[in-house]
Amino acid sequence: MSTERPDASYPGVPGEPGFMVNVGGGRRAEAPAEGIPPALAPGAGPPPLISIRELKVHFDLGGGGVFDKLVGGSPVRRVVKAVDGVSLDIYPGETLGLVGESGCGKSTLGRALLRLTEPTGGQVLFRGRDLAHLSKGEMRGQRRHLQMIFQDPYASLNPRMTVAQIIGEPLDTFALGGRGREREGRVSELMKTVGLSPRFLKRYPHEFSGGQRQRIGIARALAADPDFVVADEPISALDVSIQAQIMNLMERLQRERDLTYLFISHDLRAIRHVSDRVAVMYLGKLVELADAKVIYRDPLMPYTKALISAVPVPDPEVEAARRRIVLQGDVPSPINPPRGCRFHTRCPWAIEKCREVVPPLAEIKPNHFAACIRISPEEPDIEKVAPGDAPGLRGTGRVIAQ
């Protein structure tokens, strides 16, 4: 049985002063309406387009059976907790950037939102409707509103289909495209929208450059006229010179088509460029959420501090004066992740309590949420808190000024 539990003596714990359930842009939860998760209770501003509540995606790798023990395998069942209790609101028209080291669960979260990966638990509400519990048929009806742009534009395009067929496929799937010339006209329009000449309608993916292929992928995502797009590392496979073009294209399309993006990347500079708000993930959990400018200027949670400190600042003087936090040790395995705060094995500020207590994502400053038991609205600056004192943790994670 897990001993993980939130601790009532820390800020952000239900029932305690300072507990805030809302994980959106400052729309505080009051008394929730019956049957509606607290964060969806009415507040100022438009309601969220997507609300994620305690979302879990666990991959069962098996093991733990008699046979496993006989052949010297794992004596316990191995479960990858790729996403483990994430709650988040995404508001109409915003770009929410999702960052974190490789393997922390970003893609799994993005895919689970669209039910491309089945959630193990929790809710994904799209305009208040729980997608996680829709039947396959009902989900198909919703899918045209929720689309995805993939990392590798080549792998995600069928090499045997022409561009016209690729972009036209969603038109057929959702019966939006008409036939013959009408359909061709719609595909041509979509090509123009993403900066491709309709002269290339009959060409195949291999005849295009990487950037052009990503434009085809974007046109395909747009064909169904979606409201919400998960862009999973959409520029990572592209040359640096092309990356800016694709980001600019996505920004223009967002303005023109009222799109809402979840932009997933491990590239913190790209995330800073495109995001309105930024969410940081570590080992399946959200650890910080704030306005993009704020999180880059004033990260609160130690892991975010380390990530942000590695991003170069264009101003040479500021850059020279900056302190870099170099994390020691590798990211632990998401199979049986560390108890308590998952970051405690690498955190320079870890104390014994961090092994036991799961820090809730709490509002430390207005609209700035962080998961760390050693900071609070009264003392939000971990640098002012005494360094870690957990026996056995000393030395595994150190703050190194460079």
Ligand X SMILES: Nc1ncnc2c1ncn2[C@@H]1O[C@H](COP(=O)(O)OP(=O)(O)OP(=O)(O)O)[C@@H](O)[C@H]1O
Closer Cβ to ligand SF4, 37 or 302, answer by number: 302
Per CB under 5 A, contacts with Mg ion among 273-332 are none
| Residue 251: half-sphere exposure toward Cβ, Cα within 13 Å | 12
Residue 334, binding choice from ligand SF4, Mg ion, ligand X, none, Cβ under 5 to 8 Å by partner class:
ligand X
Per CB under 6 A, contacts with ligand SF4 among 340-359 are 341, 343-344, 347, 349-350, 354, 359
What whole-number distance in Å separates Cα of residue 310 and Cα of residue 322?
A: 10
Q: How far is the CB of 315 from ligand X (least distance, A)?
A: 29
Q: Which of 157, 158, 81, 148 is nearest to 111 (CA)?
A: 148
Q: Which of 132, 307, 372, 399 binds ligand SF4 (CB under 6 A)?
A: 372
188 near Mg ion, judged by CB under 5 A: no
| Residue 303: half-sphere exposure toward Cβ, Cα within 13 Å | 26
Q: Is 161 left (phi over 0), alpha (psi -120 to 50) or beta?
A: beta
97 near ligand X, judged by CB under 6 A: no
What whole-number distance in Å separates Cα of residue 162 and Cα of residue 291?
A: 41
Give the contacts of 304 (CB within 8 A, at least 6 positions apart).
280, 287, 288, 295, 370
Task: Kindly state the helix (H) or strand (E) to which residue 113 belongs, with its residue range.
Answer: helix 106-113
Looking up tokens 């719609």 gives 186
Total residues contacting ligand X by CB under 6 A comes to 13
Closer Cβ to Mg ion, 22 or 265, answer by number: 265
Task: Kindly state the helix (H) or strand (E) to which residue 293 belongs, with its residue range.
Answer: helix 292-297
Q: How far is the CB of 253 from ligand X (least distance, A)?
A: 23
Site pattern 96..135 for Mg ion (x: CB under 5 A): -----------x----------------------------
108 near ligand X, judged by CB under 6 A: yes
Give the contacts of 95 (CB within 8 A, at least 6 positions apart).
254, 260, 261, 263, 274, 275, 276, 277
104 near ligand X, judged by CB under 6 A: yes
Per CB under 6 A, contacts with ligand X among 29-88 are 59, 80, 82
Give the contacts of 73 (CB within 8 A, at least 6 positions apart).
63, 67
Q: Under a CB-based contact definition with an 8 Å cutoff, are residues 266 and 92 in contact?
A: no
Helix (H, G, I), strand (E, B) or coil at 126: strand
260 near ligand X, judged by CB under 6 A: no
Q: How far is the CB of 207 from Mg ion (least distance, A)?
A: 28
The string of DSSP codes covering 315-341 is SHHHHHHPPP-PPPSPPPPSBSPPSSS
Closer Cβ to ligand SF4, 272 or 339, answer by number: 339
**Burial class for 202, CB neighbours closer than 10 Å (0-12, 13-18, 19+):** exposed
Q: How far is the CB of 340 from ligand SF4 (least distance, A)?
A: 7
Name the one range near ligand SF4 by CB under 6 A: 128-136, 159-167, 189-197, 338-346: 338-346
Per CB under 6 A, contacts with ligand SF4 among 208-247 are none
Closer Cβ to ligand SF4, 187 or 350, answer by number: 350
Q: How far is the CB of 301 from ligand SF4 (least distance, A)?
A: 6
Q: Which of 266, 272, 353, 355 binds ligand X (CB under 6 A)?
A: 266
Beta strands at 95-99 and 277-282: parallel, antiparallel or unpaired: parallel
Q: How far is the CB of 376 from ligand SF4 (least distance, A)?
A: 11
Per CB under 6 A, contacts with ligand X among 316-355 are 334
Residues near ligand SF4 (CB under 6 A) are: 301-302, 341, 343-344, 347, 349-350, 354, 359, 372-374
Residues near ligand X (CB under 6 A) are: 59, 80, 82, 100, 102-108, 266, 334
